[in-house]
Chains A and B, each alone.
Chain A
């Protein structure tokens, strides 16, 4: 096949969180001007695709939306994730070599349970895309590399107990930036230990530092893991002009990162330097993915002499890389040490904050420990909303490779919970083996289908 890069450009020029919010109509306006003026869409190496509307079922594969899918989304969300799905199909049908979904709104802070918007995200575009690909095509191992400056805590949560999806996020250290997570010890649950790699970098890290991480850690791990698919969760806010973060990455750095990483699919995440970074970073990424020369792409005020890595920062980065490489190599022993297998379940609990919607969530997870398969999880979550209201849900998620007995156990559990649901607003069954998704509430038992595309 001739090399082709698929592109979905969905700037949602008629959608904003609020008029002055960073996630507003204007965000990709200058990017449009730059891409269109360059004639990018006319290049023989580029195929432009139109986004489709994702369905509720697409979303229910990844999320437990409270109280239902329609409440958590707008049309823009359906088109944004639909854009990623269009490219996923085009890739699998071998129409394209790789693809970039330049869509908004973003998604990498959206977790499995979705009570509302966190970090500008309601639903997780990459996670929905990967669950879709796993159901529709023969695909086992996936790597997601999150290149956004913020820790991709939503995507981490999505696959924390999934040994088939390796999540790698490099980002500005959570002690200095939203969402305040993404530390080296968040390595994955008992069924997927080592499948979650966080690389917290010091503020002001430049291209040199990030490329060191890429070449000495990210790429070797990927090579070792041998995935069927590489996804770039492509935030652009490591850029030196980004108003919401403090890194020193350039358009050229982003382009060459994509050249080296060579993702099959990239999905736009954050990036809020809408004039000074996005037009150039997006052009650079597209050219790199299409195998074209990106050396002419540069920011107007870019002066190479302003960008250098200090010895201290480089020492820190190198130490971090060698530490994490050791962790990766010894993940099995380390996992056994951290999560000794006694009993059928491991219980975890945590508190989650939704900055955009001011929601606090208390969550308990029962992780099924099975010797034969990745099992299932039972989540009990209470969302505490502004002005005192709250919702309690219980959700069962079955891994696509769950063994027969885990599947039966989980389905039975759902039936039992339905009989005794006092105080629980919604009970969910996410059956990724049968690709069927149910939710039970006072309205009865409802199966989420592909026919549903409505919003509230």
Chain B
């Protein structure tokens, strides 16, 4: 049996699943000042139910990291960068008061262009020491292709400043994009310690309850990772809520189809795409706290409209405001909302009908129409707003840059077959939205705990992107920061089988079942021609155990 637990901003959901069946589900309000209590309130009833049975794992999705970053309550950190030639490093503002620039440079092949300056490092260490900083981040341009400079600086800092914790860019992420590597490294070091505290608290609580099942956490890319491994790069677990709802949507829809997961909330509608059965990951890393990072996450979007959106008439035109002014009129509020319109047209039975009609009368007066017409107009506008955002998401996907002919040819225009609704206002609005978009609208009975279902069923994923340079005889792995000497690889086939082998080894280490099928995402070979002869090869291979869910739920199973 699995337990999925989603500690969201408003509610904490939990499900206990036995294979495809939901054995028990709970939903409690989240107390953001005390996440542990919320967590236990949702979890305890399930633990009761699972007593004496085999609990295989618990998967947690939580807003903890999001909250940590939002509070900006992090300890001061020194930022040491080795930017080399190119963009003026002040073009990006890392907003770190103690930023140090060192000379030294590595190029795109990992060759040293300029050496480090020992005197500069000394001075930098001295200043960090004087400022009393206990944390530092060292990031060099192209450090993922040669970690020498980062390591040298980091070890010097560690020698000179007892007790300092140092993060190196190449260990956090090896993807190309230096500014994003800096931001991601800063967020990593900022969240590590508090995450560890949280982690050990949760473990203690489970221990007290006699639970020994392994504990996993959901990452932004929809994969689970064991709790202790996640402590290395906790920033990857940010946005695990949206990831959980995307996977929940995936679990509740027909296999292999193209579906939009629609979560209609109070003032926003969150959207995620499932293309031919695969949840769409953003091509670039996530935006966190106004910063661009390397954190892989689902491609999600949000329309500024929900059940509680404030409605106004300006210049004779209906406006859906991006904010709320209290509850819906029919629930004792003072402003007309889409929920009132839903009540009037009878697609929901929430709230007081008379009050809802009154709200639509107020609105209709300014529009010169009756309450019934006003309600229909509101719903039409609401649905169009969401449909417009969905269309924009598909267009954005079609317009994503691609650098190969086959990729450009492959990206055909597609539109969804299904909408799956989760969130409070979904059951009422989704049929209208489906009609507007010409696709079927699904509102599964367990949609209220979709996030917890998503967490419970999420697979452990792993993606490794290898870059081989047969001329310089080395390879590196983007995701893990590995940089090692290379032997016996010359062809694409060699590189592919090497990568696959490493993926399986690494998969085993992090607990991916041997039954899982690894896949080749892409592989690409470039002959290096120097003086009209082949001087070596650059080979890129990306392999993975994909993101997904363990089993699909079938209708009527719950």
Contact = CB atoms under 8 A, between A and B. Distances in A.
Interface of A: 9-15, 19-20, 24-26, 29-30, 32-34, 36-43, 48-51, 53, 75-76, 79, 275, 279-280, 283, 287, 292-300
B72 interface: no
Given A12-B405, A14-B405, A51-B408, A283 B526 contact: no
Interface in B230-268: none
B412 to A, nearest CB: 12
A37 B178 contact: yes
Nearest to A40: B87
Contact of A20 (B142, B284, B534): B534
A41 B86 CA distance: 14
Interface string B90-108: 0110000000000001011
B532 A37 contact: no
A243 B152 CA distance: 36
Interface stretch (B314-322, B394-402, B548-556): B394-402
A357 B400 CA distance: 35
Nearest to B534: A20
A298 B114 CA distance: 12
B422 interface: no
A292 B91 CA distance: 8
B404 A12 contact: yes
Contact of B405 (A49, A75, A297, A299): A75
A376 B534 CA distance: 49
A15 B526 CA distance: 11
Contacts of A42: 177, 179-180, 284, 292
A9 B401 contact: yes
Contact of B526 (A25, A34, A40, A298): A25
A292 B87 contact: yes
B91 A43 contact: yes
A298 B179 contact: no
Contacts of A26: 526-529, 538
15 contacts: A13-B403, A13-B526, A26-B538, A33-B142, A37-B86, A42-B180, A43-B91, A280-B85, A280-B86, A283-B86, A292-B87, A296-B89, A297-B85, A297-B86, A300-B105
Contacts of A37: 86, 108, 141-142, 176-178
A296 B108 CA distance: 16
Nearest to A8: B401
B193 interface: no
A13 B141 CA distance: 24
A19 B91 contact: no
B108 A48 contact: no
Interface in B391-420: 399-406, 408-409
Contacts of B54: none
A296 B528 contact: no
B113 interface: yes
B319 to A, nearest CB: 26
A205 to B, nearest CB: 24
Interface string B102-121: 00010111000110000000
Interface residues of B, number: 42
Contacts of A40: 87
B88 A292 contact: yes
Contacts of A25: 526-527
B538 A50 contact: no
B44 interface: no
B401 A50 contact: yes
Contacts of A300: 85, 105, 107, 113-114
B403 A15 contact: no
Contact of A39 (B87, B142, B404, B534): B87
B446 interface: no
A317 B69 CA distance: 60
Given A12-B405, A42-B292, A43-B91, A29 B527 contact: no
Top 5 closest pairs, chain A to chain B, by CB: A33-B108, A36-B176, A300-B113, A39-B179, A293-B88
A10 B179 CA distance: 23
A22 B484 CA distance: 31
Contacts of B177: 36-37, 39, 42
A40 B88 CA distance: 11
A135 B284 CA distance: 37
A293 B87 CA distance: 7
Contacts of A51: 408
Given A20-B532, A298-B85, A39 B92 contact: yes
Nearest to B526: A26
A132 B186 CA distance: 48
B524 to A, nearest CB: 7
A93 B402 CA distance: 23
A143 B89 CA distance: 35
A134 to B, nearest CB: 26
B405 A15 contact: yes
Contacts of A275: 109
Contacts of B176: 33, 36-37
B404 A13 contact: yes
Interface in B511-558: 524, 526-529, 532-534, 538
B179 A79 contact: no
Contacts of B524: 13
Given A24-B529, A30-B108, A37-B141, A296 B408 contact: no
A48 B401 CA distance: 7
A79 to B, nearest CB: 6
A296 B87 contact: yes
A176 B403 CA distance: 35
A34 B527 contact: no
A50 B534 contact: no
B92 to A, nearest CB: 7
Nearest to B180: A39
Contacts of B109: 30, 275
Contacts of A49: 399, 401
A183 to B, nearest CB: 30
Given A296-B85, A298-B85, 20 more contacts: A12-B405, A13-B524, A20-B529, A24-B527, A25-B526, A36-B177, A38-B86, A38-B141, A39-B177, A39-B179, A50-B401, A50-B402, A50-B408, A75-B409, A76-B405, A79-B405, A279-B108, A293-B88, A293-B91, A300-B105
B502 to A, nearest CB: 22
B503 to A, nearest CB: 23
Contacts of B83: 296
Contacts of B89: 296
A11 B404 CA distance: 7
A41 B524 CA distance: 22
Contact of B400 (A13, A50, A75): A50
Contact of B403 (A9, A34, A75, A299): A9
* Residue of B88, B105, B114, B533 with most partner-chain A CB within 10 A: B88
A293 B528 CA distance: 32
Contacts of A292: 87-88, 91
A41 B400 CA distance: 12
B460 to A, nearest CB: 29
Contacts of B113: 300
